[in-house]
Amino acid sequence: MVQAKGITKTYNKGSGASVQALREVNLEIQQGEFVAIMGASGSGKSTLMNILGCLDKPSGGQLLLDGQEVSQMDDQALAKVRNQKIGFVFQSFNLMPRANALENVELPLIYSDKADITRLSREALESVGLKDRIHHNPGELSGGQQQRVAIARAIVNQPEIIFADEPTGNLDTRSSYEIIALFQQLNQQGKTVVLVTHEPDIAEYAKRIIKITDGSIVSDQANASPKDAALALDQIPKQEVRNENK
């Protein structure tokens, strides 16, 4: 589904200075995989996700999505690819504060040719366990519920691949594993999931773990025994809050 060939990314800092965020990255992601991309802050993992997800363009190399060359597309063409093929989930949720959950989920469908966007959005919210929260604004929802709205928004257009950038970074322990359980469920339904994280314990729930350091892939291994987030939830007290500094 995704083929990255010799991808580089260089940012110009002015006065002739530049920073190379990605260095000759070669990567293939097959349909139906659940991949975790791991790395410390500044390693290039989010830059890689942005390029694989067509949010940014590489400085060099070639990127194919579902067999289609996308690395040289203009912004309008990339926007169309994102709307048709890709769903995104971010650490900060990126919800519209004055819109309720249903209205937030409807956003990706506004410019589509879908007939009944309200019904589709309701179904997406129900699929992530928010049937009773569709008319609540983000400020009336917990962090975990807000991230569920973001996931519903990501899947409402039936994308072929979902990119999640540190989706558990702002959540307590139990909410984190509820979100990972949702990603595992989506993957079991056939969705390709690419999860960016700096947390080894979160990466262990993926089927494949890629480690990136200083803009280069240093390890790419299958996870023979991915953990089950749904089972892990039974062992996490509801009142426990994850140490954000670990």
Please determine, looking at this structure, whether the domain spanning 34-233 carries the CATH number 3.40.50.300: yes
10 Å CB burial of residue 221 (0-12, 13-18, 19+) is: exposed
| pLDDT tens-digit series, residues 63-97 | 999 888 998 888 888 988 888 899 999 999 999 99
Kindly give the residue spans of alpha helices, DSSP state H, lying in the chain.
45-52, 75-85, 101-106, 117-127, 143-155, 173-188, 200-203, 229-233
Task: Give the three-class secondary structure for 195.
Answer: strand
- Contact (Cβ atoms closer than 8 angstroms) between residue 95 and residue 104: yes
Check residue 212 and give its pLDDT.
96
What single letter denotes the amino acid at residue 78? Answer: L
**What is the four-CA torsion angle of 123, 143, 88, 245, rounded to 10 degrees?**
-150
**What is the structure's pLDDT at 238?**
66
What pLDDT shows up at residue 245?
39
Based on DSSP, count helices (H) and strands (E) in the chain, helices before strands: 8, 10
Domains of the chain, by residue range, sit at: 34-233
pLDDT tens, N- to C-terminus, the chain (246 residues): 899 999 999 988 777 788 899 999 999 999 999 999 999 988 999 999 999 999 999 999 999 998 889 988 888 889 888 888 999 999 999 999 999 999 999 998 887 777 789 999 999 999 999 999 999 999 999 999 999 999 999 999 999 999 999 999 889 888 999 999 999 999 999 999 999 999 999 999 999 999 999 999 999 999 999 999 998 888 877 654 444 433
- Residue 239 confidence (pLDDT): 55
